[in-house]
């Protein structure tokens, strides 16, 4: 099977220091045959300046798509990033999730038609996040001793995933699970996204638009592949978003799982009609 052409869609909103850390980690990948699209949910001038500086020294194509700040609209931002992407395999990454050096090469190894790859994350403490951003720490270069030390101090929530990489065996499942559905680290074939009409922009506020996508892909016959012990990212700490719509959004997702819904109410196709 030919190797996929990869586009990394990085969502961001008004956190240029974290975004810079993430994109610089993308620049340092051991596989640099990919492009980056920053999907911006309405950030201001500081983020635009940071992106311009990154574009000036990017070793791979780096583009920026932006939408007006009208509240939390990550689904729409990701769809805009997808529409701008030129690869046939999309890796969604959040602008506060720092990839390890082999992130792209591992996603490329795990990419398999008929499956999405749900990646994994290592949570950083507030103190570790502050040190990383203020001291410009290179999380990709942590030694074995440093990884163990960070875990012992409570700076990370787990460490085994940083110490070992599992081969591409026994990762697939034909059963649905709600576990580890995170669009902050998710690999999906572009053709599968087109089939289900991408993320559903009809979701209001924070929460469950990523679960909705995975549910609809499963309903369409796309199975899950576990990316743990292979695709871990360091998730920089941040305050929780307002979750005013979380309960109603979850109800919609549960109903769609029951109804076997496949196509988003408002997604990629609606942009083409504009």
Burial class (CB in 10 A: 0-12, 13-18, 19+), 211: buried
Domain count, the chain: 1
Confirm whether 254 is domain-assigned.
no
Confirm whether 18 is domain-assigned.
yes
Return phi, psi of residue 41, to 5°. -90, 40
Closest CA relative to residue 79, chosen from 224, 199, 250 = 199
Q: pLDDT tens per residue, the chain (274 residues)?
A: 678 999 999 999 999 999 999 999 999 999 999 999 999 999 999 999 999 999 999 999 999 999 999 988 999 999 999 999 999 999 999 999 999 999 999 999 999 999 999 998 999 999 999 999 999 999 999 999 999 999 999 999 999 888 888 888 889 987 887 666 777 899 999 999 999 999 999 987 777 888 999 999 999 999 999 999 999 999 999 876 654 556 788 888 989 999 999 999 999 999 976 6
Give how far the C-alpha of residue 221 lies from the chain's centroid of Cα atoms, to the nearest Å. Answer: 21
**Residue that is written with structure tokens 């030919």 in the block:** 2
Q: What residues have CB less than 8 Å from 50, skipping those under 6 apart? A: 16, 17, 19, 20
pTM score, whole prediction: 0.94
Confirm whether 169 is domain-assigned.
yes
Strand-pair category, 97-99 with 89-94: unpaired
For residue 231, give the CATH number of its domain: 3.90.550.10
**CA 111 to CA 232: how far, in whole Å?**
15
Which residues constitute the domain of residue 47? 6-199+222-240
Confirm whether 210 is domain-assigned.
no
Confirm whether 147 is domain-assigned.
yes
């Amino acid at each position: 099977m030919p190797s996929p052409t990869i586009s990394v869609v990085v969502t961001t909103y008004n956190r240029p220091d974290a975004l810079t850390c993430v994109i610089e980690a993308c620049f340092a990948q051991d596989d640099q045959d990919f492009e980056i699209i920053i999907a911006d949910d309405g950030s201001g001038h500081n983020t635009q300046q940071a992106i311009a500086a990154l574009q000036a020294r990017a070793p791979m194509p780096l583009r920026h798509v932006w939408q007006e700040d009208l509240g939390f609209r990550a689904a729409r931002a990701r769809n805009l990033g997808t529409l701008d992407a030129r690869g046939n395999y999309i890796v969604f990454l959040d602008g506060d999730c720092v990839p390890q050096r082999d992130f792209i090469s591992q996603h490329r190894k795990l990419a398999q038609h008929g499956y999405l790859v749900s990646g994994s994350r290592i949570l950083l403490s507030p103190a570790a996040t502050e040190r990383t951003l203020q001291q410009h720490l290179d999380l990709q270069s942590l030694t074995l001793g440093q990884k163990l030390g960070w875990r012992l101090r409570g700076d990370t929530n787990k460490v085994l995933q940083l110490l070992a990489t599992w081969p591409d065996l026994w990762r697939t499942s034909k059963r649905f699970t709600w576990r580890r559905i995170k669009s902050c680290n998710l690999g999906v074939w572009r053709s599968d996204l087109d089939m289900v009409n991408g993320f559903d922009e009809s979701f209001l506020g924070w929460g469950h638009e990523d679960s909705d996508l995975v549910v609809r892909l499963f309903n369409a016959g796309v199975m899950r592949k576990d990316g743990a012990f292979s695709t871990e990212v360091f998730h920089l700490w941040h305050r929780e978003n307002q979750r005013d719509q979380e309960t109603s959004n979850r109800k919609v997702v549960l109903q769609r799982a029951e109804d076997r819904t496949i196509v988003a109410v408002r997604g990629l196709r609606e942009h083409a009609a504009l």
